[in-house]
């Protein structure tokens, strides 16, 4: 349920499905996982949803898979999917979304920078919107990364004609029907709000808490993503231009 309202009448949802799926891609975040699970467990207990948590281990080499196995062994709500090799964030996210059974699907990063306590705030707006995307209004990242992200968002909006403040924030909640409308390609995770709006969904951006990275280093940098991000942006623009547009006047 969201905001205290049952979702049993959500279109396309079967009665045996659960309220909430939380999808978390993981790549070499072994140190973060115990704290992350403790925080997420507390939020799920307080919310009292019927829930599942899907961890997708994206070819980790630091012991993340073993820690996830222990977490899954201690709670029947936890499902672990292990990829044979590192396939990238888009692939890991797509795998998790494809296995989600919840009426509502939440995605979040596994590095502790997202705050699980924001999840109920996102869910509370799903009576009016189809999806709620986090907006890291006060980012706790190094200055260079904040500047590069601001530039990237500006370029994305100029090219797509959209007005998205934080397109790549990993913390979001969406109704199940939104998942089927996401075109899956390498890099789609950077454009989720725009892709959902292209499909006709109502998307809200909501300020969320963003925390400094506690363990390890970021897997993403300017050099390893700038050119790929630009290529992905051109692909999204191509999809916008080739989108089918029509109005049905009547039907017998």
pLDDT band at 5 (very low <50, low <70, confident <90, very high): very low
pLDDT (tens digit, 9 = 90+) per residue, 9-63? 444 445 467 999 999 999 999 999 999 999 999 999 999 999 999 999 999 999 9
Q: Are strands 131-135 and 20-26 parallel, antiparallel or unpaired?
A: unpaired
Report the DSSP pairing between strands 172-175 and 203-207: unpaired
pLDDT at 242 > cutoff 70 = no
- For the entire predicted model, the pTM comes to 0.79
Q: Of 212, 191, 214, 215, which is closest to residue 203 (Cα–Cα)? A: 191
- For the cut 80, the answer to whether the pLDDT of residue 101 exceeds it is yes
pLDDT digits (tens, 9 = 90+) for 192-204: 998 999 899 999 9
Name the packing angle between helices 226-241 and 143-160 (round to 10°). 20
Task: Kindly list the strands in the beta sheet with 20-26, ordered across the sheet, starting from the edge strand earlier in the chain.
Answer: 78-82, 51-57, 20-26, 104-107, 172-175, 131-135, 203-207
Give pLDDT tens digits for 70-96: 999 999 999 999 999 999 999 999 999
Share of the chain above pLDDT 90, in %: 58
Check residue 147 and give its pLDDT: 59
pLDDT mean over 235-249: 67
pLDDT in tens, 108-139: 999 999 999 999 999 999 999 999 999 988 76
pLDDT at 239: 72
Three-point CA angle 144, 152, 173, nearest 5°: 105
Q: Note the pLDDT of residue 139.
A: 67
Contact 210, 200 (CB under 8 A): no
SS3 81: strand
Looking at residue 5, the DSSP 8-state letter turns out to be B
Helix extents (H) in the chain: 33-47, 64-74, 89-99, 119-123, 143-160, 176-179, 192-198, 226-241
DSSP calls for 210-221: B----SS--S--
Confidence of residue 1 (pLDDT cuts 50, 70, 90): very low
Task: Give the H/E segment covering residue 131.
Answer: strand 131-135
Mean pLDDT for the chain overall: 83
Give strand pairing partners of 53: 22, 78
pLDDT score at 3: 39
> What is the C-alpha to C-alpha distance for residues 248 and 61, in angstroms, rounded to an integer?
53
Tally of CA atoms within 13 A in the half-sphere of 69 that contains its CB: 6
pLDDT at residue number 218: 58
More confident residue, 66 or 191: 66
**pLDDT tens-digit readout, 170-226:** 999 999 999 999 998 888 888 899 899 989 999 999 999 988 877 766 555 545 556
Residue 148: band (very low, low, confident or very high) from pLDDT cuts 50, 70, 90:
low
CATH numbers and ranges of domains, the chain: 20-214+222-240 (3.90.550.10)
């Amino acid at each position: 349920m969201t905001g205290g309202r049952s979702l049993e009448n959500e279109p396309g949802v079967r009665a045996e499905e659960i309220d909430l799926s939380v999808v978390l891609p993981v790549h070499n975040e072994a140190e973060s996982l115990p704290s992350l699970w403790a925080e997420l467990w507390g939020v799920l207990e307080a919310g009292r949803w019927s829930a599942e948590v899907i961890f997708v281990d994206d070819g980790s080499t630091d012991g993340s898979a073993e820690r996830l196995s222990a977490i899954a062994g201690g709670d029947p709500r936890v499902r672990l999917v292990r990829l044979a090799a590192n396939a990238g964030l888009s692939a890991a996210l797509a795998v998790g979304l494809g296995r989600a059974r919840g009426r509502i699907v939440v995605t979040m990063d596994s590095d502790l920078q997202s705050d699980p306590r924001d999840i109920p705030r996102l869910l509370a707006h799903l009576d009016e919107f189809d999806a709620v995307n986090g907006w890291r209004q006060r980012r706790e990242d190094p200055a260079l990364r904040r500047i590069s992200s601001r530039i990237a968002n500006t370029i994305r909006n100029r090219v797509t004609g959209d007005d998205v403040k934080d397109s790549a924030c990993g913390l979001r909640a969406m109704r199940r029907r939104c998942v089927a409308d996401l075109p899956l390609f390498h890099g789609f995770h950077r454009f989720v709000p725009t892709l959902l709006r292209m499909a006709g969904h109502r998307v809200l951006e909501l300020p969320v808490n963003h925390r400094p990275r506690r363990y390890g280093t970021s897997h993403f940098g300017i050099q390893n993503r700038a050119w790929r991000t630009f290529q992905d942006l051109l692909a999204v623009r191509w999809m916008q231009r080739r989108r089918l547009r029509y109005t049905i006047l009547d039907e017998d």
